Structure 1
């Protein structure tokens, strides 16, 4: 469990709902619930500061860390995909991003590929990426932020040949591998969910700290699908698709754990002084 990745989960799931700022003491205590040491947490925070995800301020001898505007945007995008609502009928159009970035800007090119993958694009050719979702505005913002607009073209287009849409999906994404990942998630979390449900039916006491740890781990694991699942419309999914079952399991278990998790967070969290 990487400290920086867990920090994203803590900020996205809790801190952003409480003003997006937290005292370092509260943060290290929360992270300590997962066996992460204070030096490891501080090192991860330093990296996130350098990368522009967090901002810091001192009040007396206390340090507070808040999510930057860039960080807020990323967390909001992630939340919209984790807690997604059912989409309508696919219009048959593909969003296409094509780029030709010079070799001397290779680092930016590699970063663009990572960002496109995170958004849900699949690689059709080395420099042409496609998505069945309208992500044109997101790509525009990204290319403007990286100052590479002169090297990128964005299209919304229909596909006339030669692969059929599902074959196109197979070319751009490893659907079988994603399905296997969902299968692993279901196999790992179904027994935990059923055990928790039974505890609640039997009116057994479940510690709030347990709910906090288990809910945070649940979100942390499910968040990984943002990096591999392109969120395809129903029309493009295979006949056997475990994403729906995994999503329902996630929602049900999350709902069960959330009240206790929030109560525990509130006992540890200290509101930052007004700026």
Structure 2
């Protein structure tokens, strides 16, 4: 480690956005695999993945448990060779990671809006409580918010998005339609979001991320610190697309901080990429030189422009 690098504890206390509730080892594994080995033919040794999670203070036993849970859920594929075990993301998860990355990386770009809101009204019986929870969670991911308990609105997602969610959860007691704000309901659809609270979260993000930018531009961030910082930065920023209405700035309160947050996130995330990649290669190289060689960080631009399927990748 360079003598002028910032101590890890100092970075955690001063120059990192706070982890919003933290990441489970399972989520962290999927994030790391998606960050550095997305859509690659090779798999990765379990020992290397366990050491990679150790960077985030995940114990070996917790890391093994996370791998086993991901396997049981069908989110990773497994291969055994003698006494060694290798993993890779399942194709289904790869496409979800690609979709999520593209959505996060596109969030905040200038867009036109036709004034139409997509509205989902649903009624789910108590004996399908879990389906109700999953529906709300998935609608939130697509940028919907509850105007009323069972009436959700979005300005950025389409009726097709909503119908796909309903179909995936086998929910038929729902209606999807589009309308302008004047013809929807008594309340403004924007009232589905707590804009004051969201603006405060943006402000905190900006204040906590600027010191990290200063540190990385000054060359005071070591590879291990960069890996931790970059992963936590994504974990924090990825929540904004599900909490911001996504309307063009002209339709938002004056001085809405989304564009500033996006610009800062992009600069810091990209700047940390090469350093984080070098640490990933170092960790994985102790177990599998080929897997280490294949590790590649993805810039925000690469995440945004990555196609739904790539040539040579099964659809």
CA RMSD of aligned residues (A): 2.5
Give deviations 1:45-67, integer Å, cap 9, x for gaps: 23333344333332332222222
Q: Is the 8 A contact 2:39 2:94 kept in 1?
A: no
From the superposition, tell whether residues 15 and 233 of structure 1 become closer, same or farther in structure 2 (CA, over 3 Å). Answer: same
Q: Which runs of 5+ in 2 are unaligned?
A: 1-21, 292-315
Matches of 1:156 and 1:73 in 2, distance apart? 28
Q: Which runs of 5+ in 1 are unaligned?
A: none
| Correspondence for 2:153 | 130
Matches of 2:69 and 2:244 in 1, distance apart? 27
What is the TM-score normalised by the length of structure 2? 0.75
Q: Which of 257, 263, 275 is equivalent to 2:272?
A: 257
Give deviations 1:147-182, integer Å, cap 9, x for gaps: 22x2222222223248799x421x211111111111
Matches of 1:136 and 1:177 in 2, distance apart? 28
| Correspondence for 1:195 | 215
| Correspondence for 2:120 | 97
Greater share of helix:
1
From the superposition, tell whether residues 17 and 155 of structure 1 become closer, same or farther in structure 2 (CA, over 3 Å). Answer: same
Question: Which SS does the other structure have where 2:31 is aligned?
Answer: helix
From the superposition, tell whether residues 113 and 163 of structure 1 become closer, same or farther in structure 2 (CA, over 3 Å). Answer: closer
Q: Is the 8 A contact 1:29 1:268 kept in 2?
A: yes
| Correspondence for 2:10 | none
From the superposition, tell whether residues 73 and 164 of structure 1 become closer, same or farther in structure 2 (CA, over 3 Å). Answer: farther
What is the TM-score normalised by the length of structure 1? 0.85
| Correspondence for 2:206 | 186
Matches of 2:194 and 2:42 in 1, distance apart? 36
Number of equivalent positions: 264
Q: Which has the higher contact order (CA 8 A, sep 6+)?
A: 2
2:289 is equivalent to residue 268 of structure 1: no
| Correspondence for 1:4 | 26
Q: Is the 8 A contact 2:227 2:276 kept in 1?
A: yes
2:54 is equivalent to residue 32 of structure 1: yes
